[in-house]
Structure 1
Amino acid sequence: MPRTTPPRPVDVEALFPELGALRHSATRLHPRPGTPTVYDSSVGGPMLWPAGEPWPVCTIPHKRSSGYRYADVLREREILDRAWRRDPRSGPNAEERVELAGFKRGRHAPDLTDSDPIPLLAVAQLHRRDVPGLPFPEEGDLLQVFWCGYERHGESRHEPHVHLRRRHAADVTAPLSEQSVPEVVGREELVPSACVLHPEVVTEYPWFEELGPGLQERIERWAAPDGEEEDEDEVYVSDLSTSPGWKVGGHIAWNLTGPTRLNCAACDADLFPLLTAAATEWDPSTTSWIPYEDRQDSGARGANTPTRVSPGRGRLIIAVCPRDPHHPLRLVTQ
């Protein structure tokens, strides 16, 4: 089923024409639970990966023997999904609660040292036929995104480690039949549930604080014409600027840190927000972005958290250099 975002409440360019020069296209991915194949675009699905090519691994030293069993994470979700479908009022029965109680964090891989290679998690696979905004067409028509199951990287030691692989899908003539997975992950919220995608191109505008002071003042006066205490975020940020959920391209929602320049460490170019991975598809402030097809069931359990992923503070932006795909990427958590 396709997903269709309702028109924005107002034509913001008609009100503020200078925004036309600042508009960006974004592809909302609309991941929804399903059973994607290796040939599909997906979040958390199987990768179109050559059988003879080594699976990407994390070799960055960090503690990796403790956490949650990967198999337990999947089993817990299976039990809960089945239980809540069966009984929306009380959920798991006594037998299921006993099994769920055994899924605990612990030292489940005591033989792993801090530098042993561990398989990266398959996060997203995007075909250009589904997501036309993918950069670097010369590098291939397929983008594959991986990350480590532990957020213990970077200078802060609290960041994810992300790996990108670009390839030509037609080159994979003998796909890998069984993907490698880590035995243990640091957080359950880093394991994506398998979702099919329903890509949709929308128009976005910059975060409010990225606009010039004069334009900010005009938007504030428009949002609260009588001087009432109306937060401009309620109108411009929530409904008119950036779409929620998983997406490619568009603008970054700087709701936690405020805007900062993202420049390439190799050439100083302004980075492009390649992929946004988000914990929620919508929240109470962004309900105007709920697709028509999801509105009837938007209040159902888990409706706005289809991937079960919550990286960092809830939203992770993978930013890349627009000039060279081999320049280092940069991660932003918001």
Structure 2
Amino acid sequence: MRFTTPPRPFDVAGVFPQLAPLARTATRLHPRPGSPTVHDSSVGGPLLWPADEPWPHCDEPHVRLMPDSPVFSPEDERQWRRALATGEAGTRNGPGRPWPEGPIAMLPVAQLYARDLPLPGPSSADLLQVLWCPFDHGSQPKTALRWRFSAEISHVLQSPPEPSAIQHSFYLPEPCLLAPEQVVEYPHPLELSDQLQQQLADPGPWEAAGVVVHEHSDDDDEDESASYDFYRHTLSISPGWKVGGWTRWGLTDPQPRFCPVCATEAIPLLTIASTEWNAGSESWMPQEERSTPTPLLPRSNPAGFTQVTLAHGYDLQLHICPLSPDHPQIELIQ
């Protein structure tokens, strides 16, 4: 697979030079349904897990807030998706599975090899594995990270344990292969200085550069909003699953993210997205997808190739300490 993000309409740092030192490289993952192995970078695929290492379980409380809402096992969900793909699925009903008691086996979310894409952070490991508990912890799953040296794993766990049930079907990622692609990002406008925000909202510099943001109107506030939104949606932060880059904001204003152990400012590691693009970010749709769209399962969100949905359509962003891979990650829904 190969996916190519269309070039941005113009070099925004050429018009606003203050942005140039703020440019960061992000790696868009472009997950698409496939059949990954333990030796592939993937979303929702099998992990290169040592046979002699215990599989992680979540031992926090799992409270059932809606007793009448059935839960199903991961295999129940896989069978349901296969039935949807063949048009054989009807209305899903039945009592489902019993609500699980005790620790719950975590599910693989992502496996990333450094040979395929650069991994942020202080670890010299060449493999990052991300898992989560498929039950709500607040408004999101609880995650776990493992950094590894793949060459040290000689015996791989063949049949990892699975939870007897998952709270939501959208917490079970569809197995996907990746097509990593590097793009340049700039900060969300609310992370910029007040002066630069004002300059971005001013239609004048855009017009002087020959950039048509939208048709000029008699409403100055509307023109300023259009310029600001054009930068935010089209020029700053790429949507979808990605590694590194800048943090996407929207649910809240920017918040400090400091390591809970050493108070060092955390850096973006992985964005787990509900969709690869939406109505406000269609300019980031890969060129190949425009001519030959990847098929979606029925009842999928637009561009929801992984089947993951978080907090009604937001993203889960993981940040890590830049000094130690042993310090706990920070989870952020935006």
Length-normalised TM-score, structure 2: 0.87
Deviation by residue 1:235-267 (Cα, 9 ceiling, x = unmatched): 101100000000011111111111111111111
Mapped to 2, the partners of 1:54 and 1:233 lie a distance apart of 49
Check whether the contact 1:30–1:246 (CA below 8 A) recurs between aligned residues. yes
User: Does 1:101 pair with 2:92?
Assistant: yes
Whether 1:236 aligns to 2:231 is: yes
- Within a 5 Å distance, the mapping from 1:212-227 to structure 2 comes to 212-222=193-203, 227=220
**Which residues of 2 match residues 1-334 of structure 1 at below 5 A?**
1-63=1-63, 67-83=71-87, 92=88, 96-97=89-90, 100-102=91-93, 106=95, 108-110=97-99, 112-113=100-101, 116-138=102-124, 140-152=125-137, 157-222=138-203, 227=220, 229-230=222-223, 231=225, 232-298=227-293, 301=296, 302=300, 304-313=303-312, 314-334=314-334
**Partner Cα separation in structure 2 for residue 30 and residue 269 of structure 1:** 30
How far, CA to CA, are the matches of 2:197 and 2:60 in structure 1? 43
Counterpart residue type for residue 309 of structure 2? S
Give the CA deviation at 1:131: 1.5
Within 2, Cα distance between the matches of 1:108 and 1:32?
Answer: 29
Alpha carbons of structure 1 residues 182 and 299: separation in structure 2 relative to 1, 3 Å? closer
Structure 1: gaps of 5 or more residues: 84-91
Q: Which moved more, 1:221-230 or 1:44-53?
A: 221-230
Give how far 1:187 is off. Answer: 1.1
1:88 matched residue in structure 2: none
Greater CA drift, 184-193 or 217-226: 217-226
**Superposed displacement of residue 298, structure 1:** 4.3
Identical pairs, percent = 40
Q: Deviations over 1:253-303 (max 9, x none)?
A: 111111111111111111111100001001011111111111124496456
Whole-angstrom CA distance in 1 between matches of 2:76 and 2:288: 32
CA distance in 2 between counterparts of 1:262 and 1:21 reads 21
- Which amino acid is the alignment partner of residue 145 of structure 1? V
What amino acid is the match of 2:81? R
- Provide the C-alpha distance between the structure 1 equivalents of 2:50 and 2:326, rounded to a whole number of angstroms: 21
Local SS of the residue matching 1:183: coil
Contact 1:6 1:289 in 2 (8 A): yes
Q: Given residue 132 of structure 2, which amino acid in structure 1 is its aligned partner?
A: W
| Cα-to-partner distance string for 1:299-322 (whole Å, 9 max, x where unaligned) | 964561110001234210011111
Deviation, structure 1 residue 135: 2.2
Give the Å deviation of 1:180.
1.7
Q: Note the C-alpha offset of 1:107.
A: 6.3
- Which residue is equivalent to 1:86? none
Aligned residue pairs, count? 311
C-alpha change, 1:75 and 1:263, in structure 2 (3 Å) is same
Quote the offset at 1:179 in angstroms: 2.2
Q: CA deviation at 1:228?
A: 6.0
Please give the root-mean-square deviation of Cα atoms over the aligned residues, in Å.
2.0
Secondary structure, counterpart of 2:271 in structure 1: strand
Alignment partners' CA distance in 1, 2:286 and 2:109: 23
